[in-house]
Amino acid sequence: MPERSQRRRGLADPAGTGVASLPASSSSENPGNGADVDRVLFKNLVEMVPLVESLMGRRSTSSFTRRASMVYTPAPSHPPKVDTKGRKTAQSVYTKRKADLAGSALKKLANDGDGGADDFTIFSSNQPVAEVLQKEREDVTMLREQLDDLERKILEKDQALKSAEDSLNQMKAASMQLEELKRQVTEKDSLIKSSNSQLSNAQIKLAEKQAALEKLELEAKASNAKVEELQADLDCMDFEIRAHMQLFEELSKCDSDADSDGITTFHQVDRLPHMDDLDLDLDEDTIEQMEEARLAYAAALAAAKEDPGEESLISLAEARIKLQAFVL
């Protein structure tokens, strides 16, 4: 039993490299066992190893109705979704590595078939073939478990790598969106600045037009005031003209009456309006002079009525000329 456990440990991977190693040479421990090894049996077993491995690795078909009892690790029911290219690459790597391991083991067995028979106590004529096959099955099962573990780790790495690539793509897309948003914000800022500049120019022009409008309104008010003033002056002048015309008509009537009788009749002089009754726009000195002229004319007219002589008529004519000078 200790020897069997030692052989199993020798077939396992003591260094953790994932490759099952052959048992160490036992010629140094049991130098006498080398003579008991049957070389023909050893060669037959070496030739049977590839056949056994091919039978173990081949899937069951209809031609193989019976299956050997061996440990089988089923694939997961829902395998993770990975890249097909990466999966094919991983499978090819696993297949190639498995083939290399099997080839290296066979080459070592073939090279050491004649001279190294003393180093392998597992092929002793005292041990049955079933035990050897059982050991080989255990080694193959261990290798398969290690391969499954490696495959699982590589799939996890592939998933992590794909997740990192997806995250990187998302970050790139987010960065592109951010750059686009920055560009749009810059364009909107420039548009706002342009709109503010146009608004400021429009406000300045509006203020200028408002000032011009206020100036025009002031000028219009001044013009209206001047027009009203001129209209008042025109009304005053019109009234003065009517008053002068009325006075002139009265004087003309007096002259016509004096010429028709040969003497001056003075009954119309009382009809002359008093200077105070005339609403003339004259200063006080002029009004006083006109009043004096009127009184002088009335006195000359009364003197001529009492004594219609030549001197009184001349005085009347001079007084009338003075009064007409003020009226005309």
Specify the higher pLDDT residue, 142 or 326: 142
Q: What is the pLDDT of residues 140-197, one digit of tens each?
A: 888 889 888 898 999 999 999 999 999 999 999 999 999 999 999 999 999 999 999 9
Confidence class of residue 211 from pLDDT cuts 50, 70 and 90?
Answer: very high
Q: Whose CA is closest to 277, among 315, 250, 304, 316? A: 250
Specify the higher pLDDT residue, 200 or 307: 200
CA dihedral 148, 151, 157, 161 (to 10 degrees): -150
The per-residue pLDDT for 36 is 56
CA-to-CA distance for 9 and 3, rounded, in angstroms?
A: 10
Contact 155, 91 (CB under 8 A): no
Structure tokens at 245: 């015309």
Q: What is the pLDDT of residues 32-83, one digit of tens each?
A: 444 456 788 888 778 877 777 777 766 544 454 555 445 445 555 554 554 4
Reading phi first (left if > 0) and then psi (alpha if -120 to 50, else beta), residue 16 is in: left
Tokens 């004519």 correspond to 317
324 Cβ neighbours under 8 A, 6+ residues apart: 248, 251
Write out the H or E segment, with its range, that includes residue 249. Answer: helix 129-261
Q: Whose CA is closest to 284, among 294, 295, 276? A: 276
CA-to-CA distance for 114 and 42, rounded, in angstroms?
A: 9
CA-to-CA distance for 78 and 238, rounded, in angstroms?
A: 121
CA-to-CA distance for 142 and 94, rounded, in angstroms?
A: 15
CA-to-CA distance for 153 and 101, rounded, in angstroms?
A: 20
The per-residue pLDDT for 162 is 92
CA-to-CA distance for 143 and 99, rounded, in angstroms?
A: 12
List the single range of 178-182, 236-240, 285-289 with lowest mean pLDDT. 236-240
The per-residue pLDDT for 21 is 41
Confidence class of residue 318 from pLDDT cuts 50, 70 and 90?
Answer: confident
* Long-range contacts (CB closer than 8 Å, 24 or more residues apart) made by 288-295: 289/326, 290/323, 290/326, 290/327, 293/319, 293/322, 293/323, 293/325, 293/326, 294/323
Rg of the chain (C-alpha set): 73
CA-to-CA distance for 92 and 94, rounded, in angstroms?
A: 5
CA-to-CA distance for 324 and 306, rounded, in angstroms?
A: 23
